[in-house]
Amino acid sequence: MKVQRIAILDYGSQYTQLIARRIRELQVFSEIVPFDISAAKLREDMPQGIILSGGPNSVFEPGAPGIDPEIFKLGVPVLGICYGMQLMSQHLGGAVEPGTEREYGKTEMTTIPGNDLFTGLPEKFIVWMSHGDRVARIPEGFRVSAVSGNCPYAAIRDEARRFYAIQFHPEVVHTQHGSQIIGNFLFKVCGCKGDWKLENWIDETVGKLKAQIGDEEVVLGLSGGVDSSVAAVLLHKAIGTRLHCIFVDNGLLRHNEDVQVEEMFKAKLGLDLHVAHAAQRFYGALAGVSDPERKRKIIGREFINVFAEEARRFKDCKFLGQGTIYPDVIESSSKKNGPSQTIKSHHNVGGLPEDLKFELVEPLRDLFKDEVRAVGRVLGMDRELLDRQPFPGPGLGVRILGEVTEAKVKLLQQADLRVQEEIRKLPDYRTIWQTFAVLLPVRSVGVMGDQRTYEYTCAIRSVNSVDAMTADWTRIPYDTLATMSNRIINEVRGINRVVYDISSKPPATIEWE
């Protein structure tokens, strides 16, 4: 059965991914495509509807992102949002002009009865505006659907051609009834059934993987994180023992993590897992290095070298499996070329040697993070693994400020273990984005018993976030912080002072390095 989908032409809005998410939440499959996609390409797998996203450009700018005019002749509904509205109006014979007043933020909008987009909504409600230009004359055949104080054409429509355009952003939480507006477009205008389910997606994806891989074998770098773990289980479901997973133990993992990964994937899930114990190799390469960027590059280089050495053992492997997810795919579009750059595959394991010429297989490249977790639940994976907090690729190497040594790693592992044990006792633990310990290159005087100490300082960092682009520090209860501090100082020999990081992002970053 053909999956109904909505194609979203990406004009560079910071909210484009939100549009895709809102649509999927309504159980309709959505796909973000480059704005310069041709009508012929869209016709190959005709979408149920098309959305033109917002964007930072002005339609008057030289080289401003455009559209193939033949898209308006495909016979499918089109919804233009903000820049998309201006572009649609310009191409269909209307006029756009720079606004005398830039309209940004929450605005009260008044609807005019008769627009399918606003069915079931009140006459007046708050929407989120973000535009400088505005439509000065609507194209022939269009009618006004809504107005605001500074925008006489806040929404317009051409019902005969099923073209709709709005000057506000329905995808953001600041717009009241935004999800219902998107739902009206999907179900009333486009005739979507709302029957896209992850269970069906899993069956379809397993079928596609079998067709793509055939009788060949796949090697996959397993980090123990959510994305690579779900990708591994999905590939295992498709090809069984022809999947070979490589887990690189770089010595910079959390306490006992190598053992946990081996137990989970080898013993419980039955995957063909090969563990490369390379801690001493990484410690040697990092000796004497304090600069954060140099540390990251060294860790990345050594990871590729170790992975490549292990991968060469599987001479029959033609494919490289990766846990690439949809935001990776979207964000790998080059920023320097703007939204016109064709979306490319995001390589999680880049820079492999020439003799390792793998073909990529990325089973999760159509899914957002929450959808990846949902797939994992359907596949029966442990909740503890699926709800795991983000962990940086360089591991504890960026949570030890200054030179990384084996002794410091073991010290931080023990401190972080106490932090993890205590934070998990909170009833709202699963709502916290990330909590961890950081070892600072600072020693201070302390008193333990009757003796003077001169030991390291540990920082505790905890943040709440949605996408890691911004973050606010978590208001952990004082009693929990007190327990963490007492346990670290009393139980971890080498640390005599604990501080709590109360900086948000921006201006600080989540990780200290």
- Pairing relation of β-strands 5-10 and 49-52? parallel
pLDDT at 213 over 90: yes
Task: Kindly indicate the confidence band of residue 396, based on its pLDDT and cuts at 50, 70 and 90.
Answer: very high
Q: E strands, 121-187, where?
A: 124-137, 143-148, 151-158, 163-166
> 333 versus 21: which is more confidently predicted?
21
Query: What is the tens place of the pLDDT at every residue in 273-301?
Result: 999 999 999 999 999 999 999 999 999 99
Task: Kindly indicate the confidence band of residue 14, based on its pLDDT and cuts at 50, 70 and 90.
Answer: confident
List residues with catalytic annotation.
82, 169, 171
Q: List strands edge to edge, sheet with 317-321.
A: 272-277, 243-249, 217-221, 317-321, 359-361
> 405 versus 196: which is more confidently predicted?
405
Tokens linked to 37? 């996609």
Taken in order 15, 19, 25, 30, the sign of the CA dihedral is negative
Task: Kindly indicate the confidence band of residue 354, based on its pLDDT and cuts at 50, 70 and 90.
Answer: confident
pLDDT, average across residues 371-390: 87
pLDDT at 346 over 60: no
Q: What pLDDT shows up at residue 223? A: 85
Which helix (H) or strand (E) segment holds residue 89: the answer is helix 83-91
Reported pTM: 0.73
Q: Which distant-in-sequence residues (6+ apart) come within 8 Å of 384 by Cβ? A: none
27: region left, alpha or beta (phi > 0 left; psi from -120 to 50 alpha): left
CA dist 299 and 305 (Å) reads 10
Q: How far is CA 2 from the centre of its chain?
A: 27
Task: Kindly indicate the confidence band of residue 245, based on its pLDDT and cuts at 50, 70 and 90.
Answer: very high
Phi, psi of 247 (to 5 degrees): -110, 115
Query: What is the tens place of the pLDDT at every residue in 88-137?
Result: 999 999 988 876 555 567 889 999 988 999 999 999 999 988 766 788 89
Q: What is the share, in percent, of the chain residues with pLDDT greater than 90? A: 63
pLDDT at 211 over 90: yes
DSSP class per residue in 221-264? E--SSHHHHHHHHHHHHHHGGGEEEEEEE-S-SPTTHHHHHHII
**For tokens 């993890």, what's the residue?**
420
CA dist 171 and 177 (Å) reads 10
Q: What pLDDT shows up at residue 342? A: 34
Query: What is the tens place of the pLDDT at every residue in 422-470?
Result: 999 999 998 999 999 999 999 888 877 667 778 999 999 999 987 676 7
User: Hey, how many other C-beta atoms are within 10 angstroms of the C-beta on 64?
Assistant: 16
pLDDT, average across residues 18-34: 91
CA dist 77 and 62 (Å) reads 28
